[in-house]
């Protein structure tokens, strides 16, 4: 089969690799019809290369048609259309019982690298598709076929009607956005600022608008702001104001937003100092967006982090957050926790605008160019979906 394979820093290729096989009774094989590039895939592409290995198959947002199941998978059968949550969870451990599927005890990577990478000595959470040797080194979904471990839990059947994009974002984007909004705990009729209007920021803003909040979206990319504005978001171009956080405070009577979502994470642009300390390896992550979020939230408000961070932060203003009585919530999305609330919204009426989200649908074969385009934010790129069923010249894949 063809798959998107990591070969080195900013070097991904579409290679021929062996087809996956059933290995355990709770496995399934899915033929992929759509698979998306996530913003966190860009971290693997250019940032987290020390925990990648040549030959790793990327991708954790995938859906398709079941072609084979192990004997322990009974809720779906070959021919069913399914989405694949990016968490790999057993469904029966204590954490899964608490709907903390991203912390599953039975799928955690217990290898030395995963155990030593946690500065608190606690290891890492549940395994994830296509996401480093800290999270199981499980082959990902940017491929023609995907082996799904724990498929008795991790395959979600969806209707056969409608385009893939109606359901595809249940794999990651929609649950991550929903968790970010729920963790933000915006009071009824309150205000929310969202830093970063990439895929997660877009959907978090739409969910919050649907909930009745006044939402401010901060992003330097005009196409992203235009998309958000179509869905009721008041946008701020940080290049047009002296300080975007001060602008949010101005628009909220000087107090700040009731809640702020950081949907940017470790690769935030905006601070020369941040780039320098990252380059010198004094600090792994750039934290400009996070610090802007801290400056924009009101006293007694909530910071919700959905952007990925990987390491310790220098000069973290813990005392200021304590003084301001800020609540801080974060973590990988517990995808299966949110799907029952989200699936009824994936309808022909499209209340979340899932069909106004994908900016580029491309053949799997052009994945290397698609990664570069997404990283550079060229051509108005907000969300890329790859189709393994067609080749670069538009023909059906064999």
Lowest-confidence region among 168-172, 190-194, 262-266: 262-266
**Tokens read off for 57:** 């198959």
CATH no., domain 176-330:
3.40.50.720
Lowest-confidence region among 273-287, 310-324, 346-360: 273-287
Q: What is the pLDDT of residue 87?
A: 97
Q: What is the pLDDT of residue 74?
A: 97
- pLDDT at residue 281 greater than cutoff 60: no
The radius of gyration of the chain from alpha carbons, rounded to an integer in Å, stands at: 20
Alpha carbons 190 and 320: distance in angstroms, whole number: 23
- pLDDT at residue 78 greater than cutoff 90: yes
Angle between helices 222-229 and 199-210 (to 10 degrees): 20
- pLDDT at residue 377 greater than cutoff 80: yes
Quote the Cα angle for 152-154-159, to 5°.
Answer: 95
Angle between helices 288-296 and 244-251 (to 10 degrees): 20
- pLDDT at residue 236 greater than cutoff 80: yes
Alpha carbons 341 and 158: distance in angstroms, whole number: 14
- pLDDT at residue 322 greater than cutoff 50: yes
Residue 398: pLDDT band (50, 70, 90) is low
Q: Which of 21, 14, 30 lies closest to 84, judged by CA?
A: 30
| Cα–Cα distance list, 323 to 318, 319, 320, 326, 338 (Å) | 9, 6, 5, 8, 33
Q: String of b and e for 19-41 (b: at least 16 CB within 10 Å)? A: ebebeeebbbbbbbbbbbbbbbb
Q: For residue 380, how many C-alpha atoms fall within 13 Å in the half-sphere facing its CB? A: 11
Whether the full predicted model's pTM is greater than 0.85, yes or no, is: yes
The pLDDT of 319-327, averaged and rounded, is 97
Structure confidence by residue, pLDDT tens digits, 92-110: 999 999 999 999 999 999 8
* 3-state secondary structure string across the chain: CEEEEEEECCEEEEEECCCCCCCCCCCEEEEEEEEEECHHHHHHHHCCHHHCCCCCECCCCEEEEEEEECCCCCCCCCCCEEEECCECCCCCCHHHHCCCHHHCCCCCCCCHHHHHCCCCCCCCCCCEECCCCCCCCECCCCECEEEECCHHHHCEECCCCCCHHHCHHHHCHHHHHHHHHHHHCCCCCCEEEEECCCHHHHHHHHHHHHCCCEEEEECCCHHHHHHHHCCCCEEECCCCCCCHHHHHHHHCCCCCEEEEEECCCCECCCCHHHHHHHHCCCCCCECHHHHHHHHHEEEEEEEEECCCCCCCCCCCCHHHHHHHCCEEEECCCCHHHHHHHHHHHCCCCCCCCCCCCCCEEEEHHHHHHHHHHHHHCHHHCCCEEEECCECCCCCECC
The pLDDT of 190-217, averaged and rounded, is 97
Average model confidence (pLDDT) for the chain?
93
Residue 172: CB atoms within 10 Å: 28
Q: What is the pLDDT of residue 47?
A: 82
State CA 100 to chain mean position distance: 16
**Tokens read off for 102:** 């991203």
Sequence ranges of the domains in the chain: 2-172+334-387, 176-330
Q: Which of 219, 196, 171 lies closest to 304, judged by CA?
A: 196
Q: What is the pLDDT of residue 270?
A: 45
Q: Which of 125, 308, 302 lies closest to 199, judged by CA?
A: 308
**Tokens read off for 136:** 């199981």
What is the bridge-based pairing of β-strands 214-218 and 191-195? parallel
Maximum mean pLDDT: which of 42-46, 313-317, 334-338: 334-338
| Cα–Cα distance list, 327 to 260, 292, 304 (Å) | 11, 16, 8
Lowest-confidence region among 148-152, 242-246, 285-289, 354-358: 285-289
Q: What is the pLDDT of residue 267?
A: 65
**Tokens read off for 383:** 């969300």
Q: What is the pLDDT of residue 396?
A: 74
Residue 371: pLDDT band (50, 70, 90) is very high
Which residues make Cβ contacts (< 8 Å) with residue 11, sequence separation at least 6?
Answer: none
Residue 273: pLDDT band (50, 70, 90) is very low
- What percent of the chain has a predicted confidence (pLDDT) above 70? 95
- pLDDT at residue 277 greater than cutoff 70: no
Yes or no: say if 80 and 64 are a contact pair by the CB < 8 Å rule: no
Structure confidence by residue, pLDDT tens digits, 11-22: 999 999 999 999
Structure confidence by residue, pLDDT tens digits, 137-177: 999 999 999 999 999 999 999 999 999 999 999 999 999 99
Q: What CATH class is the domain 2-172+334-387?
A: alpha beta
Q: Which of 115, 110, 143 lies closest to 129, judged by CA?
A: 143
């Amino acid at each position: 089969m063809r798959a998107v394979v990591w070969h080195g820093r900013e070097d991904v290729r579409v290679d021929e690799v062996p087809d996956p096989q059933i290995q355990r009774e709770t496995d399934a094989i899915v033929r992929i019809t759509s698979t998306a590039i996530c913003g966190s895939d860009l971290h693997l592409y250019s940032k987290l290369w020390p925990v990648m290995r040549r030959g790793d198959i990327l991708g954790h947002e995938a859906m398709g048609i079941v072609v084979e199941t192990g004997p322990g998978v009974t809720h779906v059968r070959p021919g069913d259309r399914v989405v694949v949550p990016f968490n790999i969870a057993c469904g029966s451990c204590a954490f899964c019982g608490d709907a903390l599927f991203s912390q599953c005890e039975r799928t955690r990577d217990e290898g030395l690298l995963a155990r030593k990478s946690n500065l608190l000595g606690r290891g890492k959470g549940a395994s994830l598709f296509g996401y480093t040797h800290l999270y199981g080194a499980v082959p990902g979904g940017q491929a023609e076929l995907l082996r799904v471990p724990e498929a008795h839990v991790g395959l979600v059947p969806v209707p056969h009607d409608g385009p893939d994009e109606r359901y595809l974002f249940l794999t990651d984007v929609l649950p991550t956005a929903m968790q970010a909004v729920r963790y933000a705990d915006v009071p009824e009729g309150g205000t929310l600022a969202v830093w970063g209007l990439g895929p997660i920021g877009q959907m978090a803003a739409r969910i919050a608008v649907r909930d009745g909040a006044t939402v401010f979206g901060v992003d330097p990319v005009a196409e992203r702001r235009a998309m958000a504005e179509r869905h009721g978001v008041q946008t701020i171009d940080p290049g047009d104001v002296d300080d975007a956080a001060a602008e949010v405070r101005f628009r909220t009577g000087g107090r700040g937003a009731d809640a702020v979502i950081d949907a940017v994470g470790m690769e935030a642009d905006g601070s020369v100092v941040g780039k320098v300390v990252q380059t010198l390896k004094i600090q792994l992550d750039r934290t400009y967006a996070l610090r802007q979020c801290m400056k924009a939230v009101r006293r007694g408000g909530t910071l919700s982090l959905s952007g990925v961070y990987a390491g310790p932060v220098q000069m973290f203003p813990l005392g200021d957050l304590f003084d301001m009585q800020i609540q801080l919530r974060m973590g990988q999305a517990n995808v299966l926790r949110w799907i029952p609330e989200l699936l009824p919204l994936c309808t022909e009426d499209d209340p979340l605008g899932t069909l106004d989200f994908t900016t580029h649908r491309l053949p799997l074969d052009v994945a290397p160019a698609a990664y570069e385009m997404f990283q550079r934010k060229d051509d108005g790129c907000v969300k890329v979906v790859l189709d393994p069923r067609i080749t670069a010249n538009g023909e059906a894949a064999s």
